């Protein structure tokens, strides 16, 4: 029997690579940067399994290139907005993702950004490096307190709840907007408008879908408190960046801290980069060693199961079975 053709689009951490290699021979993209679209199409032709990351767009065109023998698409990510899941389902292809293992790391990152924006850490560090630290000044770089402040969480799934759990330890009042989620960690459910009106900090934890694209728009921002700080660790397009820029520039809201942008990378001429009150890091929510190891392993487990004709341990479209 000819061994299945497999393409792994990125150099993922060892635990995942080793598991794939124990079972199959795979074509592994050897570079740190992702393949271009043309390279992706070339390398994916007639594969039975694809292991990708969020930098690869896996759409109907690519699925057609892969061909009818395609058995599984596995992404080393929890988000699957880069994959046309409906097109995969129509072709009866299971799509795997990596939920759960990145919950704590992503919640830690949301909280790190929240604290950094509240206490103006990156601004203060730039101040020191610029040689502007002359002496202790009573009114220098004053920030916001967490204790007693209200944190509004939009999207109360695993990661949203893990953020609420952390906020409890900081004596924050936590409210959330998520139509179907049950209360947890002392957080109270509220309507979206109440959340926007009452929150001193807002953290976004909804997946990117047609419904959540530009959820944060000019209208949303206008309803926020002028002292409010916005944190985004989900996906860039959940937020209308032009509207955010205007709100930050005019101090309609106090600050934003972004782990994700639209597009990624953020072009160096983005006006957001001119703002002192906008902190931006390069999509690092799940970037801890242990978490990335676990993500690679789960992605490999999904791939191997799919190639063996078994049910994927984490399947986003179980309707295919």
Binding site for ligand DGY (CB under 6 A): 54, 77-79, 102, 285-286
Question: Encoding tokens for residue 204?
Answer: 């976004």
What distance in Å separates the CA atoms of residue 286 and residue 133, rounded to the nearest whole number?
A: 34
Residues 6+ away with beta carbon under 8 Å from 11 = 17, 28, 29, 30, 31, 32
Query: Which CB, 158 or 165, lies closer to ligand DGY?
Result: 158
Query: Which CB, 75 or 150, lies closer to ligand DGY?
Result: 75
CB of residue 166 to ligand DGY, shortest distance in Å = 18
DSSP string for 54-121: TTS-B-HHHHHHH-TT--EEEESSS--TTB-HHHHHHTT--EE---STTHHHHHHHHHHHHHHHHTTH
Question: Which residues are known catalytic residues?
Answer: 235, 264, 283
Distance in angstroms between the alpha carbons of the first and the last residue of the chain: 25
Query: Which CB, 26 or 295, lies closer to ligand DGY?
Result: 295
What distance in Å separates the CA atoms of residue 155 and residue 234, rounded to the nearest whole number?
A: 10
Residues 6+ away with beta carbon under 8 Å from 309 = 71
Query: Which CB, 35 or 79, lies closer to ligand DGY?
Result: 79
Structural contact between residues 266 and 273, judged by C-beta atoms closer than 8 angstroms: yes
CB of residue 103 to ligand DGY, shortest distance in Å = 10
The alpha helices in the chain, defined as continuous H runs, are: 14-23, 37-44, 60-66, 85-90, 103-118, 121-129, 158-169, 192-198, 218-222, 241-249, 289-307
CB of residue 294 to ligand DGY, shortest distance in Å = 11
What distance in Å separates the CA atoms of residue 73 and residue 47, rounded to the nearest whole number?
A: 10
């Amino acid at each position: 029997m000819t061994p299945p053709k497999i393409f792994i689009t990125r150099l993922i951490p060892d635990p995942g690579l080793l598991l794939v290699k124990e079972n199959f021979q795979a074509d592994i993209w050897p570079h740190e940067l992702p393949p271009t679209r043309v390279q992706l199409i070339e390398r994916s032709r007639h594969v039975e399994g694809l292991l990708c990351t969020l930098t690869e767009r896996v759409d109907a065109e690519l699925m057609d290139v892969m061909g009818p023998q395609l058995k599984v698409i596995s992404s080393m990510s929890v988000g699957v907005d880069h994959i046309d899941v409906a097109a995969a389902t129509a072709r009866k292809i299971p799509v795997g993702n990596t939920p759960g293992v990145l919950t704590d790391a992503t919640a830690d990152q949301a909280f790190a950004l929240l604290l950094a924006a509240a206490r103006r850490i990156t601004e203060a560090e730039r101040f020191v490096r610029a040689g502007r630290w002359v002496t202790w000044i009573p009114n220098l770089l004053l920030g916001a307190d967490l204790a007693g402040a209200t944190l509004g969480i939009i999207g109360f799934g695993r990661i949203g709840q893990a953020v609420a759990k952390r906020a409890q330890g900081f004596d924050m009042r936590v409210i959330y907007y998520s139509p179907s989620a049950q209360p947890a960690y002392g957080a109270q459910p509220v309507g979206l408008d109440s959340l926007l009106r009452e929150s001193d900090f807002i953290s976004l934890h909804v997946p990117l879908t047609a419904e959540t694209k530009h959820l944060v728009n000019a209208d949303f921002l206008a309803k926020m408190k002028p002292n409010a700080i916005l944190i985004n660790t989900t996906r860039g397009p959940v937020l209308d960046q032009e509207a955010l820029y205007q709100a930050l520039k005019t101090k309609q809201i106090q600050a934003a801290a972004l782990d994700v942008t639209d597009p990624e990378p953020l072009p160096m001429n983005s006006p957001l980069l001119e703002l002192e009150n906008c902190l931006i890091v390069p999509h690092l929510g799940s970037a801890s060693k242990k978490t990335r190891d676990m993500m690679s392993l789960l992605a490999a487990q999904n791939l191997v199961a799919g190639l063996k004709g078994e049910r994927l341990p984490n399947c986003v479209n179980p309707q295919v079975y």
